Structure 1
Amino acid sequence: MKKAQRPIPMSRRQRGGRFIYLLMAQLKTSGINDAAVVVAFWELLSLFPLIIFAGNVVPLLHIDGQNILDYAITAVPPTIAKQILPIAEHFMPKSGSNNSLLSIGAIGTWWAGSRGINALKRMMDRTYGVLGQQNPILLRMISLFMTVLLAIALVAIVVVFSFGQQVLDWITPLLNIPDTLSSWFSTLKWPVTSAAVFLMLVLIYYVLPNVKLRLRSVLPGAFLTTFGWLLLSQLFSLYVRYFAQTVLSYGTVGFFIVLLL
């Protein structure tokens, strides 16, 4: 009886080459490039309704809108933040919330955001090898539910971070907490923003695919995506500052080109 031959061990260079080959093959099979275009379109379309919705829901919660903007602009390139910031401040009424704009913003965000979530779900299912045809009505309901769930999670994170600062300011004189601790908490924009982005990505990676996953299996991907997101936002800002000023000089059209990139 012949003994089973042991596989020939590969060198580190061969393992690295095989990993890159399998990675490129998986990227091609899952159609990430095509899905990224669709997701970017729908998320861009939902951006301005989201700004309108957020600007009118902030007065209802009695939250300082400037605190939210300080955290939000940390997650995007500063060049883009400078363009969006005046729009966001314009839709934050000083006297109160506009119910009509609030409804329009909520409906627009829900509709466009759910289309982006739907495209993202199809891409993730294809990546995991789930190729069966799903019920379009059920798929649409899942997309709408995930949009609402992400919106609730986003609002919860904003409320916790906003009221966390207010609670700390309130208990500082009562418990004789040093003022340096309160000021230190208010400067933690990068850790707070990173944690918020990480939690949102964990929720997407764990709930959205039509596959039963363990929570720990999505943590490395969420961490890598969070790190890459924040790093690329800063690198992209440098690119725009030194190489894309000509594009930005075209005004609104240039801004949309940069935002799509």
Structure 2
Amino acid sequence: MNKYGHGARTPLHIPPRGWFDIGKSVFANIGEDNVSLIAADIAFYGLLAVFPGIAACMAIAGLVTEPSVIVDQLERYGQLLPQQAAEIIIGQATEVAGSREGGLGLAALAGVLIAIYSSSKGIRSMITGLNIAFDVKERRNFIMQYALTFLMTLLLIVGLLAAIASTIVLPAVFAVLPFPGQTETIVSLLRWPILAGSAIFGLSLIYRYGPARPRPRWRWITPGAVVACVLWVGGSMLFALYVRNFASYNETFGSLGGVVILLMWLWLSAFIVLLGAEVDSEMEAHAKTEPADVRSAPDAMEYPKEAVANAAETLAEARKAIETAEQAVRNAPRERHPG
């Protein structure tokens, strides 16, 4: 391994200079791999899945708890979203929770089917983006592709339901433990680390099984998942800050302003997920490059003293060889020609 991290056995062996080169490669590939365009496709189908997905989640969760409890938990998670986007989701959930009509099972079934269909379209676009990010072609057969799409869609839905359920289960668990008066504090402290760990694990599964390539080791996909998770949290907060203080979506789009903001947030989320895949791809390519393959003229110029010393040594050897040859010529006996 050289000073750039080429030939590194693990991501931890890559020095800061190598990560800087990886970052430059990722930035260059964003345009080449059409990351923004693919993220827009994912966001479109994600928006189509949001509203039936809310209805399905509320209907399913209503079988085990009061719908109003789910609305309260959604309001807590809404802190990560721009205010207008959170209001749309919470408003839809509140409307579903307030509905006491019969046929809740039919609504749940219809919502699940529509959500699965729309989400699967977005997942297919994400798999395409992952293949492009890792520079591989889709070689899996038709059945394998649809099975993978269904499993990843199911993973997404189960993950969302688990995130909501955790906020209901954790208080019940800690209520029976000997922590009187501290349940709310403990739940508040553990909620976000658990969600962050779950998100990193879910992204790692996507990066490992999504693209059509040999399964990499977990250590080569975790960095991209961590980067994506951190950027998603930071990006969501900055986007919410921008919408709240600088943007004028409501003035521009009127009553559709909240929908546009939600669509933009979905695009940002999809963009960051694909960006994490680009990080993993470039990191692997950087580490697999052999040190001997990356020594170039500009790199050699960073060692002027070594180059000068080598040149001086070579010149001295050449002069010594010339002097030896001249001495041999002078000492050689001259031939006498008969007169």
Match of 1:185 in 2: 186
2:31 corresponds to: 28
1:107 is aligned to 2:113:
yes
Query: In the TM superposition, what are the counterparts of 1:39-58 in structure 2 within 5 Å?
Result: 39-58=42-61
Choose which of 219, 222, 227 in structure 1 pairs with 2:222.
219
**Aligned partner of 2:243: which letter?**
V
- Distance of 2:259 and 2:71 partners within structure 1: 24
Long gaps (5+) in structure 2? 5-14, 265-339
What residue in structure 2 maps to residue 74 of structure 1? 79
- CA shift digits 1:201-221 (9 cap, x unpaired): 223223322231222222211
Q: 1:110 to 1:71 in 2, by over 3 A?
A: same
1:60–1:36: structure 2 CA closer, same or farther, 3 Å change rule? same
Which of 115, 122, 128 matches 2:128? 122
- The alignment partner of 1:131 has SS state of coil
Deviates more, 1:219-228 or 1:204-213: 204-213
After TM superposition, the structure 1 stretch with the greater mean CA deviation from structure 2, 35-44 or 187-196, is 187-196
Judging changes above 3 Å, is the alpha-carbon distance between structure 1 residues 109 and 68 closer, same or farther for their aligned structure 2 residues?
same
1:63-212 aligned within 5 A: 64-93=69-98, 98-169=104-175, 171-172=176-177, 175=178, 177-179=179-181, 181-188=182-189, 189-211=191-213, 212=215
Instruction: State the Cα deviation string for residues 146-178 of structure 1 (Å, max 9, x = none).
Output: 111322233234333321111212x14xx3x23
The one-letter amino acid of 1:150's match is: L
Between the aligned partners of 1:53 and 1:108, the Cα distance in structure 2 is: 9
Q: Runs of 4+ in structure 1 displaced over 6 angstroms? A: 12-17
Q: Deviations over 1:178-230 (max 9, x none)?
A: 31x21212323543443343333223223322231222222211111111111
Which deviations, in whole Å up to 9, do the C-alpha atoms of 1:11-56 show, x marking residues without a partner? x999787545422333334321221111111111111111111111
Judged with a 3 Å threshold, the aligned counterparts in structure 2 of structure 1 residues 21 and 100 are, in CA distance, closer, same or farther, namely same
Residue 252 to residue 213, structure 1, CA distance change in 2 (3 Å): farther
- Count of residues in correspondence between the two structures: 247
Partner of 2:268: none
- What letter is aligned with 2:184? S
SS of structure 1 residue aligned to 2:85: helix
| Matching residue's letter, 1:60 | L
In the alignment, which residue of structure 2 is the partner of 1:228?
231
State the SS of the aligned residue for 1:92: helix
Counterpart contact for 1:124–1:209, Cα < 8 Å: yes
Q: CA deviation at 1:89?
A: 1.3
RMSD value, Cα:
2.9
Aligned equivalents of 2:79 and 2:200: distance in 1? Answer: 14
- How many percent of aligned residue pairs carry the same amino acid? 23
Give me the TM-score of the superposition, normalised by structure 1.
0.82
TM-score, length-normalised on structure 2? Answer: 0.64
Which letter maps to 2:187? S
Give the aligned partner of residue 3 of structure 1: none
User: Highest CA radius of gyration, 1 or 2?
Assistant: 2
Confirm whether residue 248 of structure 1 aligns to residue 250 of structure 2: yes
What amino acid maps onto 2:236 in structure 1? Answer: S
Task: Name the CA distance, whole Å, in 1 between partners of 2:208 and 2:80.
Answer: 22
Cα distance in 2, alignment partners of residues 107 and 219 from structure 1 = 32
CA gap of 1:153–1:17, structure 2 versus 1, over 3 A, is closer
Residue identity opposite 1:185 in structure 2: I
C-alpha distance in 2 between matches for 1:196 and 1:93: 31
Please report how far the alpha carbon of residue 114 of structure 1 lies from its aligned counterpart in structure 2 after TM superposition.
Answer: 0.5
Aligned residues of 2:50 and 2:115 also touching (Cα < 8 A) = yes
Give the secondary structure class of the aligned counterpart of 2:221: helix
Query: Would the aligned equivalents of 2:88 and 2:259 in 1 still touch at CA under 8 Å?
Result: no
Out of 28-37 and 226-235, give the one that drifted further: 28-37
The aligned amino acid for 2:188 is: T
Equivalent position amino acid for 2:95 in 1: H
